């Protein structure tokens, strides 16, 4: 029997859900004139608690709860901490940058926290139906966040585009799950994996794999499922983009890792070339398209597609090294991307009147701090050593080389040369002397306590991943290890061994 109370297995999610409900209730009871800003601090506090709760989960023995539907292992803790960290930074960023009179400010905080519940649950779910529910929780929050600026043209467009395409993609995922259930008679990941490995007839399983991959690759915005990304990023408020481009992707990558390495290890020879192709396509398409962008948010959207490609390169690696590299890259990418979107938020302002590359001209002269931070995060995105971006790419491509995909690594490195061109264009425009005939210098945003803390967090994580990556790397490796050696199947009385004749359980 399971000695760990089930509730401990989902403690961070519980904390986050309670925080979200609390924020919503307070928001509803407060008189309408009262400032909603303190609610943001409540949400940030709750997220911090959830982060501690995830770390505390490390002391639990690895295992599953709630009849084998959720798992705690160093893998889930790694991604929980990452997601909670991203959410925390986003909340701090939002606190100072949402205008005081913006409507429904309380809802923004609540939605961010509810989204975090879904993302966290997505990383720890080992039951496909729970995976689906978690994905929906996280997606629905982000759909609404994307359309938060409903008075603009682009906001509702972004939300509707994201919603329609996202629902469609989730439909694919669900169909895939249904096919897996049809083939194996179970939706429990370990059970299904065992049955898949033993089954000789794989037609439905292969179809299920394909459909599930489509759904997940849509969520990580890998090419050719990336078309929504630039429009949504452009229309959504920048703090929400900071969240959307990192946390749901981290969760989706966790899901992808779980699906390919835990559910379909038997089909290794099938999904690996597929992901190889998607990786190459993503980086090339993303970088080529980003070269031509004049809008900073669109450029970063395409760059995030390219980064999804770099990350997918890690999947060409052998088990443990590939998973560890992917996990590490997710963390490094999240830190620098949240950071750069924080800077973009401060430069562009809430109304985003200044969102073109040319608007950044002379940023370092106007505001040395923001300019330097922008350049720092861009340098990390380029992948210069002593920043997190370098080691992320480094481990990802080393994993690919280890796995024998030398061509992939070379394409990837050439791509990062290509990417340097557009990152550099922004960085050097920011460094350029302001035009002599410029209109009176517009005031740059004040950097408040909250947003200062957010930037500090992003900078220090990006730097420390580049200078002292040992700890995080060890965590990623132990996460990879738990994913490679799943716990022995939990006794599940409700399990009906489907149409495949199988020995009941592993001894």
Partner 1 sequence: MNSIDQSILTLLLLVPLAGAILVALTPDRTKLPNWIALLTSLVTFGLTLHLPAHFVAGQSGFQFEINRSWIDRPAIFYHVGIDGLSLWLVVLVGLLAPVGIVASWNAIRERRKVFFALFLIQQTAMFGVFLSLDLMLYYGFWELSLVPMAILIAMYGRKDGPKAATKFFLFTFIPSAPLLVAILWLYARTGSFDFVTLQILIAHGQFAAGALCWCAIAFLFAFAVKVPIFPLHGWLADSFSEAPVALAMVIAGKLGLYSMLRFHIGLFPAQARAAAPYVIALAVIGILYGACLALAQRDFWRLLAFAALSHLSLMVLGLYGFTLNGSTGAVYQILSHGLVDAALFLLLGSLYDRYASSQINAYGGLASRLPRTATLFVIATLTMIGLPMLSGFVGEFLVLSSTFGGVSRAWASLAALGVILGAAYMLWLVQRIFYGSLSDLTSSRPALDLGFGQLLILCPLAVLMLLLGLAPNLWLPTIQFGVHPTGARLIGLVIEPGTHPYALPTVSQEGGQR
Chain residues binding partner 1 by CB under 8 A are 364-365, 368, 371-372, 375, 379, 382, 384-386, 390, 397-398, 401-402, 409-410, 413-414, 416-417, 420-421, 424-425, 427-429, 431-433, 469-470, 473-474, 477
Q: How far is the CB of 386 from partner 1 (least distance, A)?
A: 6
Quickly count: other Cβ atoms within 10 Å of residue 164's Cβ: 12
Specify whether the CB–CB gap between 484 and 261 falls below 8 A.
Answer: yes
CB of 476 to partner 1, least distance (A): 10
**Is residue 64 helix, strand or coil?**
strand
Instruction: Please identify, using beta-carbon distances, which residue of 42 and 420 lies nearer to partner 1.
Output: 420
CB of 367 to partner 1, least distance (A): 11
Cβ-based nearer residue to partner 1, 193 or 363: 363
**Closer to partner 1 by Cβ: residue 144 or 382:** 382
Q: Which is nearer to partner 1, 313 or 427 (CB)?
A: 427
Alpha carbon of residue 234 to chain centroid:
18
Minimum distance, C-beta of residue 251 to partner 1, in the bound complex (Å)? 26
HEC profile for 68-130?
CCEEECHHHHHHHHHHHHHHHHHHHHHHHHCCCCCCCHHHHHHHHHHHHHHHHHHHHECEHHH
Task: Tell me: cis bond preceding 504? Omega within 30 of 0 counts.
Answer: no
Taking the complex as a whole, the smallest distance from the CB of residue 376 to partner 1 amounts, in Å, to 9
CB nearer to partner 1: give 157 or 402: 402
- Taking the complex as a whole, the smallest distance from the CB of residue 425 to partner 1 amounts, in Å, to 7
**Consecutive H or E run containing 211:** helix 203-219
Please say which residue, 58 or 413, places its beta carbon nearer to partner 1. Answer: 413
Q: How far is CA 157 from each of CA 219, 352, 396, rounded to the nearest angstrom?
A: 18, 16, 35
**Shortest Cβ distance from residue 205 to partner 1 (Å)?**
35
Smallest gap, in angstroms, from Cβ of residue 297 to partner 1?
21
Choice between 216 and 431, CB closer to partner 1: 431
Distances from the Cα of 401 to the Cαs of 3, 308, 398, 410, 418, in angstroms?
Answer: 42, 18, 5, 9, 20
Q: Which is nearer to partner 1, 152 or 372 (CB)?
A: 372
Question: What is residue 245's DSSP assignment?
Answer: T
CB of 432 to partner 1, least distance (A): 5
Burial 241-269 (b: 16+ CB within 10 A, else e): bbbbbbbbbbbbbbbbbbbbbbbbebbee
User: In this complex, which beta carbon is closest to partner 1, that of residue 152 or of residue 432?
Assistant: 432
| Rounded distance between C-alpha atoms, residue 74 and residue 57, angstroms | 9
CB of 304 to partner 1, least distance (A): 21
**Cβ–Cβ under 8 Å, residues 445 and 97:** yes
Are 12 and 43 in contact, with CB atoms under 8 Å apart? no
Q: Which is nearer to partner 1, 46 or 469 (CB)?
A: 469
Structure tokens at 177: 């799950």
SS3 per residue for 410-429:
HHHHHHHHHHHHHHHHHHHH
Complex with partner 1: residue 128 or 327, whichever CB lies closer? 327
Query: Kindly report the CA angle at 447 between 446 and 449, in degrees rounded to 5?
Result: 130
SS3 187: coil
As a whole number of Å, the CA-based R_g of the chain is 22
Least separation in angstroms between residue 373's CB and partner 1 is: 12
């Amino acid at each position: 029997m399971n000695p760990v109370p089930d509730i401990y297995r989902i403690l961070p999610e519980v904390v986050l859900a309670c925080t979200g409900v609390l924020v919503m209730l307070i928001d509803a009871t407060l008189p309408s004139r009262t400032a909603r800003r303190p609610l943001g601090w409540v949400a940030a506090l709750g997220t911090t608690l959830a982060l501690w709760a995830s770390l505390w989960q490390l002391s639990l023995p690895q295992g599953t709860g709630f009849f084998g539907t959720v798992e705690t292992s160093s893998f889930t803790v790694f991604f929980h901490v990452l997601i909670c960290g991203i959410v925390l930074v986003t909340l701090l960023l939002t606190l100072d940058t949402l205008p005081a009179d913006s409507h429904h400010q309380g809802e923004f905080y609540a939605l961010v926290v509810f989204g975090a519940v879904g993302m966290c649950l997505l990383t720890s779910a080992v039951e496909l139906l729970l995976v689906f529910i978690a994905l929906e929780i996280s997606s629905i929050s982000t759909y609404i966040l994307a359309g938060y600026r409903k008075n603009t043209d682009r906001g509702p467009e972004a939300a509707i585009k994201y919603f329609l395409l996202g629902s469609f993609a989730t439909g694919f995922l669900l169909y895939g799950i249904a096919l897996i259930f049809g083939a194996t008679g179970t939706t429990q990941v370990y059970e299904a994996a065992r049955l898949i490995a033993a089954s000789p007839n794989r037609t439905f399983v292969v179809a299920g794999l394909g459909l599930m991959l489509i759904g997940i690759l849509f969520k990580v915005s890998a090419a050719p499922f990336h078309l929504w990304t630039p429009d949504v990023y452009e229309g959504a408020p920048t703090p929400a983009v900071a969240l959307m481009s990192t946390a749901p992707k981290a969760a989706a990558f966790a899901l992808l890792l779980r699906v390919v390495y835990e559910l379909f290890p038997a089909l290794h020879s099938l999904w690996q070339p597929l992901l190889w192709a998607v990786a190459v396509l993503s980086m090339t398409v993303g970088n080529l398209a980003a070269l031509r962008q004049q809008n900073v948010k669109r450029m970063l959207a395409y760059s995030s597609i390219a980064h999804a490609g770099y990350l997918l390169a890690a999947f060409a690696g052998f088990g443990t090294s590939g998973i560890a590299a992917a996990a590490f890259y997710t963390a490094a990418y999240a830190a620098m991307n949240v950071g750069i979107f924080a800077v973009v938020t401060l430069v562009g302002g809430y109304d985003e009147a200044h969102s073109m590359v040319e608007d950044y001209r002379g940023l370092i002269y106007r505001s040395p701090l923001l300019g330097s931070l922008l350049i720092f995060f861009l340098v990390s995105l380029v992948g210069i050593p002593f920043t997190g971006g370098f080691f992320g790419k480094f481990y990802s491509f080393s994993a690919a080389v280890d796995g024998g995909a030398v061509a992939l690594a070379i394409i990837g490195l050439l791509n990062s040369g290509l990417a340097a061109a557009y990152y550099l264009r922004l960085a050097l425009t920011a460094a350029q002397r302001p035009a002599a005939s410029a209109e009176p210098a517009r005031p740059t945003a004040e950097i408040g306590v909250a947003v200062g803390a957010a930037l500090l967090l992003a900078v220090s994580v990006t730097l420390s991943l580049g200078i002292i990556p040992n700890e995080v790397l060890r965590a990623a490796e132990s996460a990879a290890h738990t994913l490679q050696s799943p716990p022995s199947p939990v006794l599940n009385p409700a399990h009906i061994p489907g149409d495949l004749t199988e020995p009941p359980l592993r001894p």
